[in-house]
Amino acid sequence: MATEYAVRQDALTRFSRTAQERADRLRKIRAALGAHSPKADAFGKLPESQETAQDYLERVDATLENLDFAADQQEQIGEFIEESARSYQETEEHTGDQIRTIAAQSRGTI
């Protein structure tokens, strides 16, 4: 049995905006983290310190890549949801036009 199905286009649009805001926030975090780098001797001067520094830099690079990926994903989600909202709106308008056309034809006004 079919039940009523309603899409809240305004909710989709709001969610799309929040996804874009999350993408922007992630990019700001990424920029802030990427702007800071420890000095060459920040981990000490022993050979082991250099290994620690290298491990740290590799993890920072991986974190920055993950932030880029997460921001891109949020942006794509926002774009997809916005397109879905537009599609629902266009479908609703088209359906309304069709119903009005059928109603006009049944009254013989077309």
**Interval 20-76: pLDDT, tens:** 999 999 999 999 999 988 887 888 888 889 899 999 999 999 999 999 999 999 999
- Model confidence at 82, in pLDDT bands (50, 70, 90)? very high
Would residue 2 count as lying in a domain?
Answer: no
Would residue 1 count as lying in a domain?
Answer: no
The angle at the Cα of 17, spanning 14 to 19, to the nearest 5 degrees, equals: 110
pLDDT at 109: 63
Number of domains comprising the chain: 1
Question: Quick check: 72 and 2 in contact, CB under 8 A?
Answer: no
Amino acid identity, residue 36? H
- Model confidence at 108, in pLDDT bands (50, 70, 90)? confident
Range of the domain at 100: 9-107
What region, left, alpha or beta, does residue 66 occupy, with left being phi > 0 and alpha being psi -120 to 50 degrees?
Answer: alpha
pLDDT at 2: 60
